[in-house]
């Protein structure tokens, strides 16, 4: 979240900003691969992620959201879409906790509401495996 927040506000190309962030705040060795997967994944899929967030955040424009909330939502939606090894409830719970820690008093509930709506929408769109009752 911190890296994405920095990149969003940096006055330089995203790849340079991410490299600069990593140079000054290197991720712990045990999470470096996951860090790169999330950060680079969010940056390369940002339009798709933002589109989903906009579609599920009634009465909230992306520009009105705090930078913290917006970037928590981005990496969480990326996880929901592309990190199938992480259960959606784990992604949502972690996002809510990060929002409570770094966001406003209302961030946890705000993030939870949007992510849960996206989760439900994604589950509706998922194909039903053959032989599964409706």
* Domains annotated on the chain, with CATH: 32-125 (1.10.940.10)
Under 8 Å between Cβ of 41 and 82? yes
Taken as a whole, the chain contains a residue count of 134
- The whole-model pTM stands at 0.87
Under 8 Å between Cβ of 79 and 86? yes
Q: How far apart are CA 88 and CA 7, in angstroms?
A: 26
In angstroms, what is the C-alpha Rg of the chain? Answer: 15
Confidence (pLDDT) at 103: 94
Under 8 Å between Cβ of 7 and 43? yes
pLDDT single digits (tens) 89-114: 999 999 999 999 999 999 999 999 99
pLDDT single digits (tens) 41-58: 999 999 999 999 999 998
Under 8 Å between Cβ of 45 and 78? yes
Q: Work out the angle at residue 37's Cα, subtended by the Cα atoms of residues 34 and 39, and round it to the nearest 5 degrees.
A: 105
């Amino acid at each position: 979240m911190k890296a994405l927040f920095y990149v969003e506000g940096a006055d330089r190309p995203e790849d340079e900003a991410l490299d600069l962030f990593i140079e000054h705040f290197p991720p712990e060795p045990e999470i470096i691969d996951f860090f790169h997967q999330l950060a680079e994944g969010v940056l390369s899929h940002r339009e798709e992620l933002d589109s989903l967030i906009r579609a599920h955040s009634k009465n909230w424009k992306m520009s009105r959201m705090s930078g913290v909330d917006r970037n928590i939502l981005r990496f969480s939606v990326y996880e929901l879409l592309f990190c199938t090894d992480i259960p959606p409830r784990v992604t949502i719970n972690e996002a809510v906790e990060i929002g409570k820690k770094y966001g406003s008093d209302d961030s946890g509930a705000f993030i939870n509401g949007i992510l849960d709506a996206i989760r439900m929408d994604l589950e509706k769109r998922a194909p039903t495996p053959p032989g599964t009752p409706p």
